Structure 1
Amino acid sequence: MSKIPVGISTCLLGKNVRHDGGHKHSRFCTGVLARYFDYRPLCPELEAGLGAPRPAIQLRQDGDAVRLIESKGTEDHTDAMQDWIGSALPGLDDLRGYILMAKSPSCGMERIKVHNDKGRTIHRDGRGLFAEALMDAYPLLPVEEEGRLHDSHLRENFIERVFAYDDWKRMESEGFTRAGLVAFHTRHKFQLMAHCEPSYRELGRLIANQKQEPVDVVAGRYIELFMSTMKKHISRGAHANVMQHMMGFLRETLSASDRAEISEQINAYQRSEVPLIVPMSLLRMAHRRQPGEYLDRQEYMAPYPEELGLRNTI
């Protein structure tokens, strides 16, 4: 499998590009995700010509605008940053995800301090200039901060979205067809059902009625709702519902004792007694005994490489 192109803040790769000349090396990014992601590293502050080391900078409110000012001075780097952002963004359209450095006035995705002209914090709901421009330019792109990847549910959700978006972009590169949209929706059905059943049904209706509009229009509407649906947290109950649904496709191969065992482990998962991998492993073993084309096509069975161990902790 070819690696997936993913953007990343350069400091997370252990490069000394921070304002203090240091880095914020993420061993999870370089030691685990790097097996599957082909990183495109960028340090906006370095790329904008601020150098390393460099004076620390902060976001400052200036009327309705937010500017990038040196923390212990008045030097304004906003225009240099915006010029670089404008030149860099068009070259990121092939990315399938982006991992940002938290708390940065350029890369921070959320909860960034914004200061007044005296340097005092006036609120903490800012966003780094590059992060904001990136998310505005590519609203479908899965974006996450490295620090939030320590949360098992956020980590699993982000990586699932990256792999799903990669699937979409591969289809897009071949040209949209109505049959292609049907096939994409079919293989992601159980994932969508887990994330949000009403959205799953709405997307199904969109695909069923797609001949009423040009295929590119349908594709645009579909992926917008698809990616917003995939961001939603999956509850244990929703996972259990999908697994029970899967059991229905395996009824011919499951004995009464098999059904009882799998059902008990699904219930144990709902009670938070076992992780998701336990009932899913039983379902996969049952499926191997009775291969079926429909379940074979379901990305829910293996939405990302099992070696990542993401279902061991949710």
Structure 2
Amino acid sequence: MDIQLLTQRIPVGISQCAVGDPVRFNGGHKHSKVCTQLLSRCFELHPYCPEVAIGLGVPRPPIHLIVSDRLRAVGRDDPGMDVTDALEDYADRIAPQVAQLRGFILMQKSPSCGLRTTPHFKADGPDTLAHGAGLFAARLREHFPHLPLEEVGRLNASDIRENFLTRVFAYDAWHRYVEPDPRPGRVIDFYAAYKYLLLAHHQKLTRELGQFVSDVRALTPAQFAFEVRGRIMEILAHLANRKDRTNALMHSQGHLNEFLSREERAELAQLIEDYRQGLKPLSAVLTMLRHYLPRSPHQFIHSQVLLAAEPAELGLCDFR
């Protein structure tokens, strides 16, 4: 599998209020400059507002979620107004459109779009029982369990933004490389290309995935592809840390050592150690690894996505 840098914007869904459209219940918006000015450099944003789409209008009576026989979306001031089925039916109707997206950015705390922060209230009082997903977001997750999802507000944090970008890039790459021809061989090639990036996110889960991939005959090709994609997306959902990244960088160095002089090996090892201690940025190590990469004739190390341009190097992590 050849590493390919981003050449066109990736289609990603987004809550419509986050792009600045006045579609909230009070006629306002929640414009996110991080999304429209930064992430739009690599994402083609497709806005959706479930509550407007089901005919609630702007402005509209607010709704909230209550826990009764099931989670329901009802009017905050008029409990007789129940739009539960309408919101879920809307998610079902647009599923073919969402299937073409490679991620979805959702408005936090929204009874329709919240991902993890939406209050779930008691049916007989004002107390909050829990916080979780809104009805539209939950339905999306049912239809597309591996689709990268994130809340607008959390994307203000550079590490979470980098993680979401990494997941979207991987999900898009899967659909370009594996989805048209999901034979086990192509699935294994994809896993192999992502191996060191996966190690940078979670070493234990990556080792378990490696063991799973080695027993390809245990499942049908479709089941195997679905399971591997799910595990890859699960691993990438963990934030990469300095310790695991250092381990992945050292693995990469191991493939190059025989092609380096003693002085070059020492310089690279010291640079990786400086990164581990927080003295040098990741980009410095990646630049040096890429500099030595042409010396190796081995396709495995050339295919490693870890050594491709990362979100920070594309200028997608720092925003002022």
> TM-score, normalising length from structure 2?
0.88
Q: Which amino acid in structure 2 is aligned with residue 308 of structure 1?
A: G
Q: Which amino acid in structure 1 is aligned with residue 74 of structure 2?
A: I
Name the CA distance, whole Å, in 1 between partners of 2:181 and 2:303.
21
Paired residue for 2:69?
64
Matches within 5 A, 1:132-211: 132-211=138-217
Matches within 5 A, 1:107-146: 107-117=113-123, 120-146=126-152
Paired residue for 2:78?
73
Post-superposition CA distance 1:56-107 (Å, at most 9, x none): 221123x232222222333333233233233223431222111101111110
Post-superposition CA distance 1:278-302 (Å, at most 9, x none): 3222222333566753322111112
Name the CA distance, whole Å, in 1 between partners of 2:277 and 2:286.
15
Of residues 216-225 and 69-78 in structure 1, the stretch that sits farther from structure 2 once superposed is 69-78
Name the CA distance, whole Å, in 2 between partners of 1:234 and 1:19.
37
Name the CA distance, whole Å, in 1 between partners of 2:256 and 2:178.
33
Paired residue for 1:307?
314
Paired residues of 2:178 and 2:187 also in contact (CA < 8 A): no
Name the CA distance, whole Å, in 2 between partners of 1:161 and 1:64.
35
Q: Which amino acid in structure 1 is aligned with residue 38 of structure 2?
A: V
Name the CA distance, whole Å, in 1 between partners of 2:211 and 2:122.
50
Name the CA distance, whole Å, in 1 between partners of 2:309 and 2:65.
38
Among 67, 92, 95, the residue aligned to 1:89: 95
Q: 1:280 to 1:13 in 2, by over 3 A?
A: same
Name the CA distance, whole Å, in 1 between partners of 2:248 and 2:122.
50
> TM-score, normalising length from structure 1?
0.89
Aligned length: 311
Paired residues of 1:206 and 1:218 also in contact (CA < 8 A): no
Name the CA distance, whole Å, in 2 between partners of 1:82 and 1:186.
38
Of residues 252-261 and 221-230 in structure 1, the stretch that sits farther from structure 2 once superposed is 252-261
Q: 1:73 to 1:94 in 2, by over 3 A?
A: same
Paired residue for 2:242?
236
Paired residues of 1:159 and 1:304 also in contact (CA < 8 A): no
% same residue: 37
Q: 1:106 to 1:196 in 2, by over 3 A?
A: same
Name the CA distance, whole Å, in 2 between partners of 1:215 and 1:227.
18
Give, in angstroms, the shift of residue 7 of structure 1. 1.1
Name the CA distance, whole Å, in 2 between partners of 1:294 and 1:117.
56
Name the CA distance, whole Å, in 2 between partners of 1:243 and 1:304.
14
Among 263, 283, 291, the residue aligned to 1:285: 291
Paired residue for 1:245?
251
What secondary structure, in the 3-state scheme, does the structure 2 residue paired with 1:243 have? helix
Post-superposition CA distance 1:31-74 (Å, at most 9, x none): 1221222222110111111111212221123x232222222333
Post-superposition CA distance 1:174-226 (Å, at most 9, x none): 22123212321221111122222333233333333324543222212211222
Which gives a bigger RCO, structure 1 or 2 (Cα 8 Å, sep 6+)?
2
Paired residues of 2:39 and 2:316 also in contact (CA < 8 A): no
Name the CA distance, whole Å, in 1 between partners of 2:89 and 2:247.
49
Structure 2 gap segments, 5+ residues each:
1-6
Give, in angstroms, the shift of residue 157 of structure 1. 1.3
Structure 1 stretches of 4+ moved >4 Å: 288-292
Structure 1 gap segments, 5+ residues each:
none
What secondary structure, in the 3-state scheme, does the structure 2 residue paired with 1:268 have? helix
Q: 1:289 to 1:210 in 2, by over 3 A?
A: closer
Name the CA distance, whole Å, in 2 between partners of 1:113 and 1:217.
35
Name the CA distance, whole Å, in 2 between partners of 1:146 and 1:77.
24
